[in-house]
Amino acid sequence: MIHRKLSIVTATGLIAASAFLGATPAHAEPTSETEPPVVELVLDVSGSMKAADIDGQTRMTVAKRAFNEVVDALPETTQLGIRVLGATYGGDNKRLGCKDTQQIVAVGPVNRVAAKNAIASLKPTGFTPIGLALRETAKDLEGTGSARRIVLITDGEDTCTPPDPCDVARELAAQGTDLVVDTLGLAPDEKTRKQLVCISQATGGTYAAAQSEEELTDRIKQLVDRAAVPPPVTPATVQGAKDCATAPLLAAGVYTDRELIGEHRFYRVAVDAGRELRASVSISLDRPLNRDYGVLVKAATVDGRELVRGLDAASGRSDVVSAGLRWSGDEEPALAATSDICLVVSNSFASATAAGAPGMPVELSIDLVEASQAPDAPGLGRGFLLLFVLAIAGLVAGVLAGWLTRWWVATWREN
């Protein structure tokens, strides 16, 4: 489920509904622009928030003021909820402290007075059960809309593992729900930063750090505003097969899937003569991987004969790897007329978390366009006319240069 994670990264204007061979392929639908933004703010209220190291004030004081400014700036249409962790139990019993998370404002139309009153009463208290809080927040947001956002603000890493917050984030992503977790580190150390980056990457969210009240306020506002902007395409969830014969038939569109480490996934596309298939695949690196990894997409016949192999595509992001290919039905018209083309997605990943972990998030983009009638530049098969023209031009230029040289030499001798 990397609907937004790779939305960036793959083509998004490829939506087209069509039917091939009597089947109805899955396709993505545009997200409704009238759907109100749904966001739940999750605030760490653990004991470490007592530290007075931000502009000479405690982290809790700064966080409260930032929250109030954000609440005042929220659009009226926002569906807002607030959950806290580590806010009520101040004892030493870790079993009890690691259950300490509550929703203090239920998700609904923004009520500024209620939200501010709930925030005002908070005092730094206990442990930091981030993993549990994420699970409970996902439950808070069930049935609230197709695109939902969690904004997690914390000054430290989880102190209650298990469940590990990164594993929880991957579980939420693997459920195929449109749920993004953005993370904000308040004066974070390196261990906290790594954990928050892991959480956000697993769900297609973002990570940012804040070292001042102004930075924290600006970051939260940006994330809440982002929740109000729907993605241009809602990818259709599809499940690739282990062979081409049983693979799902896809129309042009954007799709999401999950691929296990070391797995091959098969999909089918009908490409008519005169049409060109353009396909790209992006996989989000939502967990630590061993070195020397990559992703491959290739087009093949139903019986396994490779037609074209994709090329690596740079996305500008270190957390996503991509590849893409083009294949025209004009290259083998007989094949295009009688059989589907298989798309095979494979990876060369290895990770310590491979066993029992959810598959890697895959986003697959497919487009079918009119086949190109000529290459971008002449090749050896089609460039003879150009070579002939260049040869004639060279001959004429040589004759003119020779004539001008002889005329200049003759004129110089006469003088």
The pTM of this model reads: 0.60
Which secondary-structure segment (H or E) carries 179?
A: strand 179-186
Domain(s) of CATH 2.60.120: residues in the chain: 236-370
pLDDT tens track of the chain, all 415 residues? 444 444 433 333 333 333 333 345 555 554 445 567 788 999 999 999 999 888 888 999 988 888 888 888 887 788 889 999 999 998 999 999 999 999 999 999 989 899 999 999 899 999 999 999 999 999 999 877 666 889 899 998 999 989 999 999 988 887 766 788 989 888 888 899 889 988 988 887 888 888 888 888 888 888 777 766 655 666 888 999 999 999 999 998 889 898 988 899 999 999 888 888 989 898 888 777 888 888 999 999 988 899 998 876 555 556 678 888 988 877 777 776 677 899 999 998 888 766 667 788 898 999 888 876 544 444 444 456 677 778 888 888 888 888 888 777 777 766 6
Q: Which CATH code is given to the segment(s) 38-227?
A: 3.40.50.410
CATH 3.40.50.410 domain position(s) in the chain: 38-227
CA distance 341 to 249: 10
Count of helix runs (H) and strand runs (E) in the chain: 9, 16
- Residue 313 contacts residue 321 (beta carbons within 8 Å): no
Q: What is the pLDDT of residue 232?
A: 60
Decide if 84 contacts 102 (C-beta within 8 A).
yes
Going by C-alpha positions, the residue among 79, 1, 82, 81 that lies closest to residue 34 is 79
What is the CATH number assigned to the segment(s) 236-370?
A: 2.60.120
